[in-house]
Amino acid sequence: MTERLTALYARGVSRQASSDHPPERSPTFGLLLGLLITLSAVVAYSVYITGQVTGLRKLQTELVDRNRKDSLQLLRIQNDLNLLAVAMRDMVGSDEPYPLTAWSAQFERIRTDLDDAMRLESGFAAAGRTPEQSAFLSGSLTQFWDAVDRVFALARDGEEKEAREQIQLSLQERQAALSTAVARLLVQNSENEKQAGQRIVQIYDRVQRQVYVFLAATLLAILLSGLSVIRWNRRLFARLAEVSERRSELAQKLISTQESTLRYISRELHDEFGQILTAVGSMLRRAGTHAPEGSSLRADLQEVLEIVQTTLESVRSLSQALHPVMLDEAGLESTLDWYIPTVERQTGIAISYEKQGEPFPVDSGAGVHIYRVVQEALNNVARHSEAKQAWVRLRFLRDALELEVEDHGVGFQERPNKRGIGLVAMRERSELMGGRLVFSRPPQGGTLVHLDVPREKAEFYGKEDHSLAGR
């Protein structure tokens, strides 16, 4: 009966929720679309940033670094040209006692270094340099060395004076022209480096601005998505609160109906069937007195009378199990004092019953729920735990009523599929009382059921429940 009522309750909640609120469009598609757009924007911006960084790296590598290396070679060329200028000044000096051919080895050494510097410089030449500039530098240097060869040829032929005149008239001018060209190239490299620096700064500024724009757009998308999620969550929680409230109301009506039904069946068993069996017993006794002493008929009537008496006791026990009359008359404490030894006799499980604190009267509505929790917990111990001993503790505290049912059997972990509708009903009853029901595993193993009910609920709960049960 409990399972059928619970199933009807679940179907009632589902039908009422579906009839009051038509199905709404799910936000999943919108959220997925927003996520897809955001991810696409992130991927596109990542590609863009990667391109900007690659261009920046290329600019730094191909322009700035090459320009720096080219400037180093130009400085090397300029240094060699300065050495040549110093050497030519010494060669034309009137107080120099050495012949011009003595400088031939120094010129060859400088020429070798200068050719190597020119070769390296041509590989690092800046992209902004014109072919005419490169051709002018290379041609001027070739003409300079041709002139040097002619000077040393005159010197070897003994024409020192004419050779010195060629140095003054040709070589020094060519060296000055080369130095001026190299200086111009250095200035141009400096300008190129300055422009490259400005371009790098512009790239950084552009990327920084776009990062700010992207972050703002991302934050806006996150804000819109968050607001959408908050909106849907508020609607969802409102629906859940409404369903929970209706579920609580239906659960209260269900349990009230169940208790009313059990009370009615218990009363019918006790009154109707009990009276019938009592009358049958009386008739059998009277019939037995008319039968001859020692006859088989009298023995048969006595046997039937014993069966009727046993059936009457079973009916009364079943009536008490369905709804103990003493729960309404004597209260929860006395009912548990009677019920726990009864379960102990019926199941063979040794039950230790402990009471603590100063007892206070428990409302009959709350008492029914607490009694059902004890009944279901002990039934689970007898059916599933395989335990031979159990403990029931009832504590009357200043602000609450606590109940514990403990066993050291197999517990929930070893029998995960054994959780049935009874545990759900226990939770429903605890919630209806405003209490808290906790299932835990004690250190010795098994199961510990702990029910905590506020005192004000235990003392005053159930008046509305009685009114519902009487309908």
Question: What does residue 373 show for φ and ψ, rounded to 5 degrees?
Answer: -65, -45
Tell me what pLDDT residue 437 has: 92
Tell me what pLDDT residue 218 has: 82
With a threshold of 0.75, does the pTM exceed it? no
Tell me what pLDDT residue 288 has: 75
Tell me what pLDDT residue 406 has: 93
Tens-binned pLDDT, residue by residue, of the chain (471 aa):
444 544 544 455 445 444 455 555 666 776 677 778 877 877 887 787 787 777 777 766 667 777 788 888 889 999 999 998 988 888 887 665 678 888 889 999 999 999 998 888 888 776 667 788 878 888 888 998 999 999 889 888 888 888 888 888 888 888 898 899 889 888 888 888 788 778 878 877 887 888 888 888 888 888 887 888 888 888 888 888 888 778 777 777 777 787 778 777 877 776 677 778 788 888 877 777 777 777 787 787 788 888 888 887 777 777 766 777 777 777 888 888 888 998 888 889 999 999 998 888 888 788 888 988 998 899 889 888 888 999 999 999 989 999 999 999 887 654 444 456 778 888 888 888 888 999 998 888 889 999 999 988 887 544 444 433 333
Tell me what pLDDT residue 450 has: 93
Tell me what pLDDT residue 405 has: 94
- Report whether 145 contacts 81 (CB < 8 A): no
Tell me what pLDDT residue 302 has: 80
In the chain the domains, ranked by start, together with CATH numbers, are 28-222 (1.20.120), 325-469 (3.30.565.10)
Tell me what pLDDT residue 236 has: 85
Tell me what pLDDT residue 262 has: 75
Tell me what pLDDT residue 94 has: 60
Tell me what pLDDT residue 403 has: 93
